[in-house]
Structure 1
Amino acid sequence: MKVILAIVQDKDSQQLQTHLIKGDFRATRLPSTGGFLKAGNSTFIIGVEDDKVDDALEVIKKTCHTRTQYVTSTFALPEAAGINDPVEVEVGGATCFILPVDKFVRF
């Protein structure tokens, strides 16, 4: 058994939750905050059998999309102080960690 920690943008989280349920994956959704843009994220904790890891990752990949967003240059690059031009950055997608599970117990 494995546990997948999937960190996704809030914009994708509701749709991901829906697709995980349709795919018969059990998940817990936790609110989280990103470090770079300090934007709202959701962290999903998904317990899966070893042979279903790729299926779960495929659901995440199809649901969580990257997009571009404009931020002020001083926010993205602190050394650019005094320059107020917006900078285009790529956000979204998903960051996934797959961890082994030594023991699983349900009460």
Structure 2
Amino acid sequence: MSAQYKPTEHDGLKMDGTPDKRVSSEHGFGGSDGPDPHVEGQKGGHSSGGSGGEKYKPSEHGGVKKDGTEDKRTSSEHGFGGSDGPDPHEAGRKGGVN
């Protein structure tokens, strides 16, 4: 088993001695003088604004949207949203078979 050459272990230089741009700070998180990718990754997925990161889910409020109107995505007439009707697990198991 041969060891793989890693520019990060050789001051950001490729085997031929030229700089590997993937390791430079100008290319994103590569350099050590920029944002910490671990910290930035933990911030990811949060939308700006809103109520402290909690997302309103009509399915947790009886199928009612924030504005008080019915969310049709949660009704059984819209596919698998309601409790009456086909079991989505069973229907998925059948796949495209009619």
Give the structure-2-normalised TM-score.
Answer: 0.21
Which protein shows a greater Rg? 2
Structure with higher strand content: 1
Work out which structure has the larger RCO, using CA pairs closer than 8 Å and 6 or more positions apart in sequence: 1
